[in-house]
């Protein structure tokens, strides 16, 4: 019994040290993986027709912020469609496209997808690209 007790204590101590080391290692790896730019959102895409509700010039990477009323939304291949459930609703999008030739009330078509960085607050946004006016007759 006297020989068994020190062996059991040693094994327990090694196990505890191993678990503490594993937890520390896991925490360090997890923290290191949260760098800005590393939190890309899921690849997505949609083609929408919409009506511009508001437009605001921005001084950020995306020079315009718009509120658009989604009139229709089409899937693009097998990619998730971020606007599919927004038909009939107004959503906020950002774009780096020059929107100075557009105005509130214009009907447009364009592509909307998720963008940003999931690791920063407010980092996920909807990106609008390939915007053009819809012809009205």
Residue 41 lies in a domain: no
The number of distinct structural domains making up the chain is 2
Pick the most confident of 27-36, 51-60, 117-126.
Answer: 51-60
Could you tell me if 66 and 127 lie in one domain? yes
Which band of pLDDT confidence, cut at 50, 70 and 90, is reported for residue 105?
very high
**Average pLDDT, stretch 56-84?**
94
Could you tell me if 103 and 57 lie in one domain? yes
**Average pLDDT, stretch 41-51?**
92
Which residue's structure tokens are 């009205």? 136
**Average pLDDT, stretch 37-63?**
86
Q: Domain residues for 121?
A: 46-133
- pLDDT one-digit tens code per residue, 25-36: 333 333 333 344
Residue 119 lies in a domain: yes
Residue 40 lies in a domain: no
| Largest pairwise CA distance in the chain | 97
Could you tell me if 73 and 118 lie in one domain? yes
Q: Minimum mean pLDDT among 56-60, 79-83, 133-137: which range?
A: 133-137
What are the backbone angles phi and psi of residue 74, rounded to the nearest 5°? Answer: -110, 140
Mean pLDDT (the chain, rounded): 78
């Amino acid at each position: 019994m006297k020989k068994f007790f020190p062996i059991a204590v040693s094994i327990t101590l090694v196990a505890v040290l191993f678990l503490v080391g594993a937890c520390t290692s896991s925490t360090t790896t997890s923290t290191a993986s949260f760098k800005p730019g590393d939190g890309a959102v899921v690849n997505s895409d949609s083609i929408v027709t919409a009506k511009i509700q508001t437009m605001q010039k921005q001084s950020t990477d995306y020079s315009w912020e718009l509120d658009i009323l989604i009139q229709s939304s089409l899937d693009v291949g097998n990619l998730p469609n971020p606007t599919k459930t927004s038909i009939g609703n107004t959503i906020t999008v950002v774009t780096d496209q020059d929107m100075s030739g557009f105005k509130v009330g214009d009907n447009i078509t364009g592509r909307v997808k998720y963008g940003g960085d999931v690791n920063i607050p407010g980092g996920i946004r909807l990106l609008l690209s390939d915007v053009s006016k819809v012809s009205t007759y």
